[in-house]
Amino acid sequence: MSHSHHSTSALDKMTAVEMRATWSLASIYGLRMLGMFLILPIFAIYASTLSDKPSSLMVGLALGAYGLTQALFQLPFGMASDKFGRKPMIYLGLAIFAIGSMVAALAMNIEGIIIGRALQGAGAVSAVVTALVADLTRDEHRTKAMAAIGGTIGVAFALSLIGGPLLNQWIGVPGIFFMTALLTLAAIAVVKFVVPDPVHSHYHSDASAAPAKLRDVLKHTQLLRLNYGIFALHVAQMAMFVVVPFAINQASDLDVNQHWYIYLPVLLASFVLMVPAIIYAEKQSKIKLVFVAAVATMLLAQLMFAASIDYFWGIVASLTMYFIAFNVLEASLPSIISKVAPAAAKGTAMGVYNTSQSLGIFVGGALGGYLSHTYGFSSVFIFCGVMMFLWLLLAFSMQAPPAVRTKMYTMNAMAEQMAAEDVNVLKDKLAGIAGVIEAVVLPQELTVILKIDKSHDWDGSNLQTQVHQLLRG
């Protein structure tokens, strides 16, 4: 164990390089998400003013197009970065994203915007960003770094609901696309000059997808439920934005630039209600209970939308229910995946999960557009309600995620020469320590991954010491 001579306090803190890597990469990740989300609350209204009067289906496709290309390119980009380097692939992805933003900014018709959005999605750098974070952080801090990056998605979404209508007054939708392109060019400079260069990039099973592990992940029924869940969640998210801007306009005197008057209090209320739920779930190990309750709340929100989409206060109440559920689910799904996924295939499980999410975005946009055009607003929410009801059944019957935390340890450089039987002996010894639920030894990555029962006091006890002794011996 290379860190044995450090005191634990030095281990608990991220180094300056790790902090810089985490925040600079989180900001790039968040910026890309912001570029995707900013137009959500305003685009449907903007599209209806275009000269070619596009159908709701085309509007939905423009909103959701990036999901399809993102789903197609996410894993290939990540795998290419193992071969061609992280930063070159991030430059390529951000350049494609900037070009897509320019195409959408200059587009005179809906088809042009759809092509621009599809290009934005094709610059699918999220898997590469995750892999680069893994290169630049020590194993024991990786979970924190990943959480910081995951958190930027929620922040970007909240900011865009308020920022979209505000920016729309000043620069309009084409201006927002231009602004996104400029910010993306700035992000390329950040990657070049601020993000540290990795000493060496290699494959990390907890952060990157491996084709060899795909089959196991796709056969894992507990993970499949969660993948269906994130798919359904994002179908409903995109479908909602095809309908809700019009519904607010019809039910109130608010102009689209004032829609943030609704979103801001609704988001604040939902955050205030979400935080205790998440803390309760984690601290009391009541993850399944809170999760099932959130899915039920989401089902209720869809039914409320379907029943009251023509009434202003009905829309406000439905949105509040929706965001409480959405925030809890969006925050808890990744943490459940990391608890449920086999320790050695966590990166692959997250890759499949992210792809399901992207497909949901595409399907939601297209389907929301088609249904609202053909059968009216309520039909969109009835359909999403059926999806949520299915999810509720799946969530209800899932195994409660184990109350575990994942700890990672770096092995010394000699470990690469370990014989197979030594690896197995070490694995058995680690698995034999009280409180260890699963042990994985990865000599090529010089990493040991342990899933540990939360009820064991890990940090303060001699368990830590036992692991260190085994790794040194």
Third-level CATH fold of 12-203? Growth Hormone; Chain: A; (1.20.1250)
Residue 94, amino acid: L
Tell me, what's the pLDDT at 413?
A: 65
pLDDT in tens, 374-383: 999 999 999 9
| Intra-chain end-to-end CA distance of the chain, in Å | 9
Q: Which one has a higher pLDDT value, 331 or 315?
A: 315
Q: Is the dihedral of CA 143, 11, 13, 464 positive or negative?
A: positive
Q: What share of the chain is helix, strand, coil (3-state, %, to 5)?
A: 75, 5, 20
CATH class entry, domain 404-472: alpha beta
- CA 438 to mean position of chain CA atoms: 25
- The CATH number for 209-401, chosen from 3.40.50.11540, 3.40.50.10240, 1.20.1250.20, 3.20.20.60, is 1.20.1250.20
**Sheet with 436-442, side-by-side order of all strands:** 404-410, 447-453, 436-442
Q: What are the residue ranges spanned by the domains of the chain?
A: 12-203, 209-401, 404-472
What are the tens digits of pLDDT across the range 254-297?
Answer: 999 999 999 999 999 988 888 888 888 878 878 899 999 999 99
Cα distance between residue 310 and residue 248, in whole Å: 8
Each residue's pLDDT tens digit, 84-120: 999 999 999 999 999 999 999 999 999 999 999 999 9
For residue 461, pLDDT beyond 60: no
User: CB–CB of 380/239 below 8 Å?
Assistant: yes
Whether the domain at 209-401 and the domain at 404-472 fall into the same CATH topology: no
Binned at pLDDT 50, 70 and 90, residue 5 comes out as very low
| CB contact burial 54-93 (16+ within 10 A = b; e otherwise) | bbbbbbbbbbbbbbbbbbbbbbebbbbbbeebbbebbbbb
Q: Considering the entire predicted model, what is its pTM?
A: 0.87
Residue 182: both structure tokens together: 């400029």
As to burial, measured by CB atoms within 10 angstroms (0-12 exposed, 13-18 middle, 19+ buried), residue 421 is exposed
The Cα 77–Cα 128 span in angstroms is 7
